[in-house]
Amino acid sequence: MKVYPCGIKVTTVLNNIEVIITGVIIRFNAVAYEVSYFHNGERKQVWMNEKEFTTDSKKKTIGFIK
Q: What is the pTM of this model?
A: 0.87
Residue 66 belongs to a domain:
no
The whole-angstrom separation of Cα 43 and Cα 8 is 17
DSSP letter assigned to residue 34: E
Could you give the number of structural domains in the chain? 1
45: in domain:
yes
49 found inside a domain: yes
For residue 53, being part of any structural domain is answered with: yes
The closest alpha carbon to 25, from 56, 57, 62, 55, belongs to 62
CATH of the domain at 51: 2.30.30
pLDDT tens-digit profile, the chain (66 residues): 899 999 999 999 999 999 999 999 999 889 999 999 999 999 999 999 999 999 999 999 987 766
Q: Which residues form the domain of 38?
A: 2-61
Q: What are the DSSP E strand ranges found in 1-66?
A: 2-3, 9-12, 18-27, 30-39, 42-48, 53-54, 60-61
